[in-house]
Structure 1
Amino acid sequence: MANPHAGEVEVVVDGVPRTAKLTLGALAELEAALGEDSLVALVERFEGGQVAARDVFRLLVAGLRGGGWRVTEAELVSADIAGGPVGAAKAAAALIARAFAVPE
Structure 2
Amino acid sequence: MSNPWAGEVDLVVDGQRHICKLTLGALAEMEAGLETGSMMDLVTRFESGAFSSRDVLALIVAGLRGGGAQVTAADLFNADIAGGPVAAARVAAELLARAFAMPEG
TM-score (norm 1): 0.91
Give the drift of 1:90. Answer: 0.6
Distance 1:90 1:40 in 2: 18
Tell me if 1:67 matches 2:67: yes
Gaps of at least 5 residues in structure 1 are none
Q: Which residue of 1 aligns with 2:56?
A: 56
Tell me if 1:17 matches 2:17: yes
Q: Tell me the matched-pair count.
A: 104
Give the drift of 1:9. Answer: 0.3
Q: After the TM superposition, which segments of 4 or more aligned residues of structure 1 sit over 2 Å from their partners?
A: 35-42
TM-score (norm 2): 0.90
Q: Which residue of 1 aligns with 2:2?
A: 2
Q: Which residue of 2 aligns with 1:99?
A: 99
Tell me if 1:39 matches 2:35: no
Distance 1:30 1:90 in 2: 18
Identity of aligned residues (%): 63
Amino acid at match of 1:55: D
Distance 2:2 2:64 in 1: 12
Maintained 8 Å contact 2:22/2:99: yes
Gaps of at least 5 residues in structure 2 are none
Maintained 8 Å contact 1:31/1:42: no
Give the drift of 1:36. Answer: 5.2
Give SS of 1:92's match.
helix
